[in-house]
Amino acid sequence: MTTTVPQRVSKNIHPHKFVMWVAMGGIIMMFAGLTSAYIVKKNQSSWLQFDLPIEFYYSTAVIVISSISMFLSAKAIKAGKFSQYKIMISITAMLGIIFILLQYLGFKDLQARNIAIVGPKSNSAASFLFVITFLHMMHVLGGVIALLVFWVKAIRSSVEKSSLMSVEVMGTYWHFVGVLWIYLFLFYNWIG
């Protein structure tokens, strides 16, 4: 007990990163629950068939591009290119905002086609699409807020060693919400 305990080095991933992975497991379960409910409900009576709003196709492209810019910003900070990191992280945040706007326009598009998403005239098909997409939007919004915090930090201070890990955690989350949307997008197209 009195001998020096050698530091446990690097075989394990950082606990914060690990927490993010487990949290992603939880989020997956939530969307798994919702999409299974969707399937159950779809097989019951009075399910409305309609085309996905075209905006969702654009938003899919936007979130894929934002994943690339997130990847580049992590790469930049690893290489010590701080100005490039600042640009990339702000681009990612902007693309996140654009994604949210496009989803919103998608809902508008549904309304314009007289497909009610909530209220007494709504059909579960549209309501499900709205609720699931809305929850995903909230997760993206959380990511955007975090990205903006990173961006403000980057403007205010110079590179810190510790921020590398948190940028990696941020990147993991951002790629995750991207993949989650792609799953949902495929799900809507495949099943709905």
Between residues 1 and 155, which has the closer beta carbon with respect to other proteins? 1
Question: Closest approach of Cβ 168 to other proteins, in Å?
Answer: 14
On the 0-12 / 13-18 / 19+ scale of CB atoms within 10 A, 49 is exposed
Q: How many CB atoms lie within 10 A of CB 151?
A: 19
Question: Closest approach of Cβ 103 to other proteins, in Å?
Answer: 17
Q: How many CB atoms lie within 10 A of CB 94?
A: 16
Between residues 25 and 114, which has the closer beta carbon with respect to other proteins? 25
Question: Closest approach of Cβ 70 to other proteins, in Å?
Answer: 22
Between residues 13 and 159, which has the closer beta carbon with respect to other proteins? 13
Between residues 61 and 118, which has the closer beta carbon with respect to other proteins? 118
Q: Which of 143, 54, 144, 47 is nearest to 105 (CA)?
A: 54
**Binding-site ranges for other proteins (CB under 8 A):** 1-10, 12-16, 18-19, 22-23, 25-27, 29-34, 37, 40-41, 44-46, 118-124, 127-128, 131, 135, 162
Question: Closest approach of Cβ 1 to other proteins, in Å?
Answer: 5
Name the amino acid, one letter, at 184: L
Spatial distance between the Cα atoms of 115 and 122, rounded to a whole number of angstroms: 7
Q: Which two tokens stand for residue 120?
A: 């007494």
Cβ–Cβ under 8 Å, residues 93 and 69: no
Question: Closest approach of Cβ 52 to other proteins, in Å?
Answer: 19
Between residues 68 and 135, which has the closer beta carbon with respect to other proteins? 135
Spatial distance between the Cα atoms of 86 and 157, rounded to a whole number of angstroms: 11
Question: Closest approach of Cβ 8 to other proteins, in Å?
Answer: 5
Spatial distance between the Cα atoms of 122 and 129, rounded to a whole number of angstroms: 11
Between residues 83 and 114, which has the closer beta carbon with respect to other proteins? 114
Residue labelled with tokens 């693309």? 95
